[in-house]
Structure 1
Amino acid sequence: MSLRLLLFGNTSSTFGEEWTAQGFCFKPRPVSYGLIQKRAGPCGVLAAVQANVLLELLFGSSNIPLDSGLLRPKLIDKRRALSQALCSILWQAGEKKSAVYAVRRKTAIIDDNIAENVLKKDGLLEYLHLKYFKSKDDLLEYLYNYISEMMKNDCESCVLFLYSVILTHGIEKIKKEMDVPESHLIGNDGYCSQEIVNLLLTGKAVANLFDGDLELNLGGPEKSLLRGISKRSKIGLLSSYEYKNTCAVVPDNSF
């Protein structure tokens, strides 16, 4: 119930098919390193995972040489890079101490009467089973062993990975990091909030993109604290305004 409330603000809303049928499936050539997004909605998760996959293919432990200036990974390269990417995001969310991975069991773990009265069943949440890891190597080994299942075209691996990141970081911790603890992470349009994107990229579920925290004086003794990025991430953000050369971001050398 806490997970559903954090995501949607209620216990009756659920993920649509644009999420539940979204796996980490790669495109065929020529852009064979790109993840396929089937429908609008889970782009925040897919973009963050895609960025980490490219990082691994180009600069990480699973890096491969360019072929005439082009990136052409083989299937084994993509499996390794995706495993490393998911592991890196999860381990960062767990402050490099522990991680949780959510999988779907064949039998429900929630009583039907409870589900009917207080939690709308969606065919996924009531079958959730959690695996706990205290070692990054163990997490990576597990992910690599099951990465083929996560790469299937019609599977719920995108939702399960989002569940895993949230549960790894901690529901209460996420609420404390958000500017408005009563808000939720999935918008009415089914898109990810900025908190989800920042959690995936930086390990903190903050709502803003400026450096550090910003304290606003609302007049009188009342003040409001807006939380931003606390440290440099290995993967940054590129806005459409930067791409179109209508604005430029000046790096903060203090980071």
Structure 2
Amino acid sequence: MDKEVSHEDRGFQEMELDEIARKISDIGKWREIFHFHRLEINSATHQKFQEHHKSTDSGAAGARTPQDKEQGRYPSKVLYSLPAPSVTSKWGSFPVSLAMAMGLRKILFGNTVHIFSHDWKKSCFKFHEPSSDLSYALEMGKGGSRAIQMAVQVHILKYLLFTWSEKGRDFCSLCRTSLGEQREALSAALADTLWTAGERQKVIICVITSETCFPSTGDFEADGLTEQLQLFEFSEKEDAKKFIYDHLQWFTGEGRHGVILFLYSLLLSRTFERLQRDLDISTSHLLQPTGGNFTCGQAILNLILTGRASPHVFNGYQRGNSEALLHGILARSEVGFLQWNKDGSRQQELSQVGSRLKTPKFPIWLCSINRKCSILFSDNKLLLSDWKMEHHFGLYFYSGHPSQKEAACLTIDTHSHHWEEVQQNENCVPERPVEMVIRTKWKDASVKWNGTLPFF
């Protein structure tokens, strides 16, 4: 009996030892997860960073307070600052510098004082449920970040409809987009946008870590985000796409500042020097204060759509009232832009969309309707390459409103005289905003909602 008990005890001991060995083998994995912020940086950058801290600690003219020294690396206390997963070690990276952080603030806000709001910080790129009627579409947030989400959605549609495969796909298959296809489409859309902005030479991708890369100064107030950026540089688009795909949770996860990280990546990929050349006397910075929030100026939308931060939507260059040269769209865009405002009498010539945005290579348009963004698109790649197809055709409309459960299917007739009759009938109220923005491209077109109650 004693021998049997001893045998059982040895068995249990062996099981315990096996369990301990298994846990020890996992230590490396968990150490990587919980110490993700110790990203690999090159020795030169690391040495400069250490020298900077030594010189600061030695008493450089009040650069740090005693309280700062106690806090050491300035851990973030900002809401929504969550740990990000560790980065594959093969990708080299470097921390953001004070000069770069100040440059981002200045090009966005016009100064280094303003910071992003709560709505901006919580915005990310999150799809609707896979294989649902809106499985191809992002859920849209509130405030100024919504315009960026909509502009990225245009590139997602371009990828899913026309570049996913040579044969393309129709609207029905679009509504069956799987989780894997969502991940692939978002990765491709973000990488392609950054690659175009970087003149197809270089991409910078920003992620946020738990450590601050430089101490606060009188000229730069920490926001728990900008001073904690880690930057990854790529000289090949496919490498950037793979990196984004492998770490997509940085852009899709709630609380990880996905929209801001993409915006920062976009600006750094474009470079401050190119951005200054893109802009003109009419636009000194990219975000505009509106109702207590910051909204995207036209230059940001054009940067996402075309790769160049042109402040205007007309073709080429024009002279303004001061005879200064104003910058518009320099080449035909792959995706388009349309706009219509209810108070059309205030629209100036400079706000009229030129043909390079009205007639893009692919039939997808970001629409600014009464200064709110939405999307019109077709699954017919040849729509804009054969004028005969523009006599009678279909468009799909996505507003991004939470109440919209599926895209509205519209039928456009450019040979009907229905619109002229409506204009002559004083009892009719013709100004449905979606129909009006369509008529900025197809004048006098009639629009049928095919059983859907007009909602926009």
Q: TM-score, normalised by structure 1?
A: 0.88
1:123-138 → structure 2 map (5 Å cutoff): 123-138=224-239
Q: Gaps (5+ residues) in structure 1?
A: 251-255
Change (3 A) 1:142 1:232: same
Structure 2: distance between partners of 1:49 and 1:23: 11
Structure 2: distance between partners of 1:38 and 1:182: 26
Shift of 1:67: 7.3
1:55-86 C-alpha deviation (Å, 9 max, x unpaired): 11111126874474652200000000000000
Specify the SS of the correspondent of 2:436: coil
Equivalent position of 1:120 in the other structure:
221
More off after superposition, 62-71 vs 21-30? 62-71
Structure 1: distance between partners of 2:333 and 2:327: 16
Structure showing greater Rg: 2
1:10-65 C-alpha deviation (Å, 9 max, x unpaired): 11110011111011001233312211122121122111110000111111126874
| Residue identity opposite 2:332 in structure 1 | R
Equivalent position of 1:21 in the other structure:
122
Structure 2: distance between partners of 1:128 and 1:181: 30
Q: 1:57 aligned to 2:157?
A: no
Number of aligned residue pairs: give it.
244
Equivalent position of 1:170 in the other structure:
271
Equivalent position of 1:202 in the other structure:
306
Structure 2: distance between partners of 1:82 and 1:162: 15
| Residue identity opposite 2:104 in structure 1 | L
Specify the SS of the correspondent of 1:37: coil
| Residue identity opposite 1:232 in structure 2 | R
Structure 2: distance between partners of 1:249 and 1:50: 21
Specify the SS of the correspondent of 2:319: strand
Q: 1:243 aligned to 2:346?
A: no
Equivalent position of 1:102 in the other structure:
206
Q: 1:92 aligned to 2:196?
A: yes
1:217-232 → structure 2 map (5 Å cutoff): 218=322, 223-232=323-332
Q: TM-score, normalised by structure 2?
A: 0.51
The structure that is strand-richer by fraction is 2
Q: Which structure is higher in RCO with an 8 Å CA cutoff and minimum separation 6?
A: 1
Structure 2: distance between partners of 1:70 and 1:77: 10
Shift of 1:227: 0.7
1:147-166 → structure 2 map (5 Å cutoff): 147-166=248-267
Q: Is the Cα contact below 8 Å between 2:113 and 2:220 reproduced in 1? A: yes
Shift of 1:155: 2.4
Which of 315, 331, 334 is the matching residue for 1:234?
Answer: 334
Q: Is the Cα contact below 8 Å between 1:42 and 1:192 reproduced in 2? A: yes
Q: Which runs of 4+ in 1 moved over 3 A?
A: 62-70, 240-243
Change (3 A) 1:181 1:135: farther
Shift of 1:140: 0.9
Q: Gaps (5+ residues) in structure 2?
A: 1-101, 342-432, 443-456
Specify the SS of the correspondent of 1:38: coil
Structure 2: distance between partners of 1:108 and 1:206: 33
Structure 1: distance between partners of 2:169 and 2:250: 27
| Residue identity opposite 1:125 in structure 2 | T
Structure 2: distance between partners of 1:182 and 1:66: 40
Structure 2: distance between partners of 1:243 and 1:116: 48
Identical amino acids, percent of aligned pairs:
33
